[in-house]
Structure 1
C-alpha cells in the first residue's frame, strides 16, 4: 500500500532516518502483516551508484536496509519512504485473486511511489487508465453513497 500515511513521524520511531525520508516525513501503513517491522522503499539519485544496503527491485527503485548506517546511504537516494508492516499472501493466493478480478493490475509511474500527498493516488492512477477502467476513479469510497 502506498497511500496510507500514519500520524507517526519517522523522527519519533527511526530518528536517524528523519532527514532522509520524502515528504510528508511520516511512517506509512504497509499492511496488516507483521506491523512491528518496517520496510523502506528508495529511489536512487544515480542508478550507477547504489549505496550499501540497497537491493534493486526494478530500475532505480529498491528496498533499503534500515540497519545500514544512514551515513552510508545519505545523498545516494533522491527519495525514501518507510512502511510499518507489509501485506502478504500465501502461495498462489495473489495470482488467484488477480485471475478472479479482485485487483486492477495497471502500469505504475515512479511519481506514484513518493508523492507528497498520496490521498488521491488510487483515483489518479485509475483516471489515467484507458477505457472503462478510468470510470472506476469516480466511485465513492463508500459504495452505499453510489
Structure 2
C-alpha cells in the first residue's frame, strides 16, 4: 500500500461520499460534496478553509465539542478573534466560504458529523482553494 507524503499532516477521519458518474469532481452530485466524519475524543482538527459554503450536520456528540470560526489566521496558524459554535446532537451550523475553522472534541466520546458543501461546483470551477494549517503553524498550498 502506498501512502501519500502529506498523510502525516491530515487531521480528519472521514468517508467522502461519491458517485462514480461524477468522476471529474469525485462528489455525490455535480454540485454537492458530502462526508461522513468522526472527530475522535480529545482530538483537534486544525484550522482549514475553502471557498465552498459548509453546512455541518452534527449527528452525535458529547458536551465539549465545538468549532472556532473566523475570517483570518495569525502568523502562527491560530484563528484571530474566532466565534465559538458549540455542538449539540441533531443540530447544524454554517461556515461561510473562505472562513477559517477548526473543530475540537474535548469530551471523552467520539463525535460524528455530516458536512455538506457546494464543493462539487467549486471543484469543477477550480475555485475550491482549500488550505490547511499544518502542525508547525504553516499553511498548505
**TM-score interval, normalised by the smaller of the two chains:** under 0.3
| Structure holding more helix per residue | 1
Structure ranking higher on relative contact order (CA contacts 8 Å, 6+ apart): 2
| Structure holding more strand per residue | 2
